[in-house]
Structure 1
Amino acid sequence: MKSIRHSAIIAAILCGTTAYADVTAQQVWDNWTDQMAVYGQGFTTGGEDMSGGTLTVSDVKIEMSDEEASIVAALGDIALTENGDGTVNITMGTSYPITVDLTPEYGDPATVNVTVSQSDMVLKVSGVPDAMIYDVTADSYGMRVDSIEGGQSMDVEVVDLAIAMLDLSGTYSVSQDTLTHIAYAFNVGALDIDAHFNEIDGGGVIKANGDIADLAMFANIVTPIDMDFDAEMPPFVDGLAMEGGYSFGETAYSFDFDVADDAGSGAATIEGGGLEFSIDVDGAAYRGESRGIDVSLSIPNEIPFPLQASLAKYGFEFLIPLSQGEDGPRDARLAFNLTDFAISETLWNIVDPAEFMPRDPLTVALAVDAQVTPFFDFLDPAQQEAAMMSDIPGEVKGVQITELTVRGAGAEITGDGAFTFDNTDLQTFDGFPRPEGQANFAINGVNGLVDKLIQMGLIPEDQAMMPRMMLGMFATPVGDDMLTSTIEVNAEGHVLANGQRLR
């Protein structure tokens, strides 16, 4: 639960205020102080002064801490100005310091000094007491590490470590009914990350850079009112729910280093991608994708040749139900793909100098959907012990292979299938629910691939006989090095391959 609490507080520090908004300056400030109290942290001020529709809070300082770290942000003066139309503008200094004191259980204590800076930031607050909206725009917003003190075990010094964001815009809102609803969406035109370290004793240099375009982030969070951030179990049964994600456009990373007895460099570019997640008492979902990936790496002392690889797409997805639900079986899903993975000719020539192997890109993709019935609400503390003690925490009703592709080096395997499960019959398959259905496969070019592996000396010819025999048992020829296979389980529990009974 510390991660939830700390995320909320850090957001408050970095944005100056991400608390409730109201139609008057005093209400904005009062609601912020109330929210900081909920998070269990504190702040100090030099005083408050209301004059001409502007509330000035001087010498604002926010503090947060746990067993291994403490953070102090000295925001300076904050001015909350009533615009006369039910909105409030918030202004603050163009920069302020943050001090992080680290006292880890293992390792040396250290102090990190950070400066937050911003340009032309406009914070506008609107809404009503029960539904506040917070709008922000800025030409730039950044954080820079000024120094790291202590940390005697560190063998590098920080020359430059900074994050800069350009063309920011976003909205943050909070509303309450029986629960607290928090929503935000932020867009960043460009994000730049720079790092430069010097080796303290050896005189070496380490540099890294990252540039991300068109970054968009969003989140919707629902929490119980007066939520206990220190609770051992997040209160999902009381309404806690979260969803969020991000997307990004063209991205470029690079690094180079020259240290004692070693040197190297690398770079990567990505056309774009994104990630989304959600979790509540009913289930969890997570999916991500990256497109157009190119990577190059050169470390001559470790690898005597440069490495280059590309990937058209990489993605993953899972959906898992976490409660019994009320409408029968629940959907579940597991999927991933690695599409058109290609390596450079240099690498191919090392493993296949005679060019026996077709140099097609590699693709591996699998997607499996299922319908399941959990017997417990797994995020309910009252049911967790029973769930852990249960031999069977739920039932599988059906499984569908919606995608299966393995393609590369001149061969390809594709397939699909669907099975239902009789959970009342645990005898036919020795304690496993009896399946019924079939899976279909197409296998092309595999014998040719085996021949080429024999030519390359990677597989002895006598050891290739067994795989060929297995293919002959389970597959049917339909063309030149083209095979099909249908694996079926019927209602009697018989297992058949291409109509031939195996069980």
Structure 2
Amino acid sequence: MKCIRHTAIIAAVLCGTTATADVTAQQVWDNWTEQMEVYGQGFTTGGEDMSGDTLTISDVKIAMSDDEASVTAALGDIMLVENGDGTVTITVPDSYPITLNLTPEYYDPSVINLSVTHEEMVLNVSGDPEAMIYDISADRYAISIDSLEGGAGEEIELTDAMFAMIDLAGTYSVKSDNLTRIAYAFNVGALDIDVLFNETDGEGIVAANGDIADLAMFANIVTPIDMDMEAEMPPFIDGLAIEGGYTSGAFGYTFDFDVDGEAASGSSTGDGGTLGFEMDIDGLSYIGETRNISLNLLIPNEVPFPLEVAMGNYGFDFQIPLSQGEDGPHDARMAFNFTDLAISETIWNMADPQNILPRDALTIALGLDAQVTPFFDFLDPAQQEAAMMTDVPGELNGVQITELTIRGAGAEITGGGAFTFDNSDLETFDGLPRPEGKVDFAINGVNGLVDKLIQMGLIPEEEAMMPRMMLGMFATPVGDDMLTSTIEVNNEGHLLANGQRLR
């Protein structure tokens, strides 16, 4: 809940739009203050003055807090100028301070002094009083840490800590019907992160740098009108829904630290990626992908050579239904992939100095789709206790293997198939719903891989006999070190391997 509240507050304070509209300066200011009240926070000001087409709000401060931290932003004077066409332009000082007070339960209190600076920033507001749209653009928008006090200042000396967005443009909107609907979308030409700390009483350093190109972010948040932002359980049952994510272009990171005798440095690059998240009363989904990753790592006190790894693609996709619904089984998904994972020749030579194994890249990919019927709405507080007490919170109705690939060291296993489940028959498989369906496998190069592992001394030859016998029982030869296998459960509950009954 804190994350939702803080995200919405920051967006409300920092964002704005252009479009055909009819709003006044006073209406825009009232909208800001109303949003702060909803999120349990507020403005303090030195006064308001309307002169001609300009509303000036003097000495604006924004505060938000929880049990272990408080944040105060001193924006100074804000001017809201009516443009004569139903839009309002907001002018915020080019820089202003933010103070973060940390009071953790088990550590010394600390104060972090930050500053926000921007260049050529334009904020416009349009729409109407019930549905305002904000538009923001800036050549540069940066947040930096200026100093540390208290416990943090005693341990480290700050040299540089800056987060900057270049060529920022985006929109933010708020409207209300029976729910409050917040939406934003921002594009950033380049994101730059620089961090450098020195150890106060020693020679230790911590340095990091990150650069991301072509970053596009979005979020949509739907909340109940009078949502309690301090509630222990988020009110998904009342309409709360959250979705968001980003896409990015090429990125690069470097780091270097040497503290208390522990040292490491490294770098990583990639061609970009995506991340998406969605959660409401009906379910949760989380999906992401990163392309063409390379990692170089040096840990001189632990490993006497550089560690180098590259990967063509890394991704995941999880979809989990969380409510009963009214339209039958719900879709679920679990998928991940590590595609073309390659390690350096140095690491290969340590593991395989005789160059016995093929040094092709490793790929592991699994995709499972399913249909399930939950018996509860798991995000409804009234049903959670019953859901936790039950032995079976739902039914599994079907599973499809959409992808199965294991490839590397000269061998490959692929597969696919589908099963349905009869939940009225819990006897055939000892308390589990009876499956019906089949899965097909293609197994290539496995015997050759076993031979090479024996040659390397990693597997005693006598211990390899059992895996070979199992392959002979469950697989059919179709070529030189090429096997296929079909595992099936028929409608009578019989388990078959390549047509031969095993159960």
Mapping for residues 113-128 of structure 1, pairs under 5 Å:
113-128=113-128
Change (3 A) 1:447 1:154: farther
1:43 corresponds in structure 2 to: 43
Pick closer, same or farther for the CA change 1:260–1:64 going to 2, 3 Å: closer
CA distance in 2, matches of 1:47, 1:22: 25
Counterpart in 1 of 2:281? Answer: 281
By how many angstroms is 1:2 displaced?
A: 2.2
Answer yes or no: is the 8 Å Cα contact 2:371–2:397 preserved in 1: yes
**Is the 1:22–1:125 contact (alpha carbons within 8 Å) kept by the matching residues of 2?**
no
Residues 1:140 and 2:149 are matched in the alignment: no
Name the CA distance, whole Å, in 1 between partners of 2:335 and 2:263: 39
In the alignment, what sits opposite 1:231? 231
What secondary structure sits across from 1:486 in the alignment? strand
Residue 415 (1) aligns with residue 415 (2): yes
Distance 1:172 1:303 in 2: 49
1:109-188 correspondence runs (5 A): 109-151=109-151, 155-188=155-188
The answer (yes or no) to whether the contact 2:16–2:124 under 8 Å persists in 1 is no
Structural RMSD (CA): 1.5
1:179 and 1:224 in contact (8 A); partners too: yes
Matched ranges for 1:218-367 at <5 A: 218-259=218-259, 261-367=261-367
1:73 alignment partner in structure 2: 73
CA distance change for structure 1 residues 68 and 259 in 2, over 3 Å: closer, same or farther? closer
Q: Return the alpha-carbon distance in structure 2 between the equivalents of residues 473 and 154 of structure 1.
A: 68
Matched residue SS, 1:132 = strand
Alignment partner, residue 434 of structure 1: 434
In structure 2, the partner of 1:8 is 8
SS of the residue corresponding to residue 469 of structure 2 reads helix
* SS, match of residue 271 in structure 2: strand
Q: Is the 8 A contact 1:311 1:342 kept in 2?
A: yes
Contact in 1 for aligned 2:55/2:79 (Cα 8 Å): yes
* 1:184–1:344 CA distance, 2 compared to 1 (3 A): same
CA drift at 1:291: 0.2
Alpha-carbon distance in structure 2 between the residues aligned to 1:260 and 1:382: 51
Query: CA–CA distance in 2 between the matches of 1:143 and 1:257?
Result: 23
The one-letter code of the counterpart of 1:405 is T
Give the corresponding residue for 1:399.
399
Give me the whole-angstrom Cα distance separating, in 2, the residues matched to 1:217 and 1:7. 13
Task: Please give the secondary structure, in 1, of the residue aligned with 2:471.
Answer: helix
**Structure 2: runs of 5+ lacking an equivalent:** none
Q: Secondary structure at the match of 2:255?
A: strand
- Whether the 8 Å contact between 2:15 and 2:123 is mirrored in structure 1 is no
Q: 1:63 to 1:152 in 2, by over 3 A?
A: closer
Per the alignment, in what secondary structure is the counterpart of residue 31 of structure 2? helix
**Structure 1 228/152 Cα, relative in aligned 2: closer, same or farther at 3 Å?**
closer
Of 453-462 and 258-267, more deviation after overlay is shown by: 258-267
**Contact 1:123-1:137 at 8 Å conserved across structures:** yes
Matches within 5 A, 1:94-113: 94-113=94-113
Q: What residue is the counterpart of 2:205 in the other structure?
A: 205
Q: Could you tell me how far apart the structure 2 residues matched to 1:370 and 1:152 are?
A: 49
Offset at residue 263 of structure 1 (A): 4.0
Answering whether residue 446 of structure 2 is matched by residue 446 of structure 1, we say: yes
Counterpart-to-counterpart distance in 2, 1:15 and 1:103: 29
Cα distance, 1:262 vs structure 2: 4.7
Q: Distance in 1 between matches of 2:427 and 2:211?
A: 59
Q: 1:400 to 1:228 in 2, by over 3 A?
A: same
Deviation at 1:317, TM superposition (A): 0.3
Helix, strand or coil at the partner of 1:192: strand
Residue 13 of structure 1 deviates from its aligned partner by 4.6
CA distance in 1, matches of 2:153, 2:124: 45
Query: Per-residue CA shift, 1:472-502, capped at 9, x if unaligned?
Result: 1111111111111100101111101111111
- What is the Cα deviation at residue 452 of structure 1? 0.6
Identity %: 73
Q: Name the stretch that deviates more: 463-472 or 146-155.
A: 146-155
Classify the secondary structure of the residue corresponding to 1:105.
Answer: coil
Alpha-carbon separation, structure 1, partners of 2:263 and 2:381 = 52
> Letter of the aligned partner of 1:431 in structure 2?
G
TM-score, length basis structure 1: 0.97
Count, aligned residues: 500
User: Structure 1 residues 221 and 262, CA, compared in 2 at 3 Å: closer, same or farther?
Assistant: closer
Asked if residue 462 in structure 1 is aligned to residue 451 in structure 2, the reply is no
Contact 1:363/1:408, CA 8 A, preserved across alignment: yes
**Deviation (angstroms), 1:9:** 2.1
Q: For 2:489 and 2:33, how far apart are their aligned partners in 1? A: 65
- In 2, Cα distance between the equivalents of 1:118 and 1:255? 27
Q: Which residue identity does 1:485 align to in structure 2?
A: S
Alignment partners' CA distance in 1, 2:149 and 2:54: 39
Q: Which amino acid aligns with 1:329?
A: P
Q: TM-score, normalised by structure 2?
A: 0.97
SS at match of 2:29: helix
Aligned residue identity for 2:376: F
Mapped contact 2:13–2:32 kept (Cα < 8 A): no
Cα 1:153–1:34 change in 2 (3 A) is closer
After superposition, the C-alpha distances for 1:322-356 in whole angstroms (9 at most, x for unaligned) are: 11111111111100000000001111011001000
**Conserved 8 A contact 2:15-2:135:** no
SS at match of 2:32: helix
Structure-2 residue corresponding to 1:370? 370
Shift of 1:260: 5.3
In 2, distance between residues paired with 1:337 and 1:258? 34
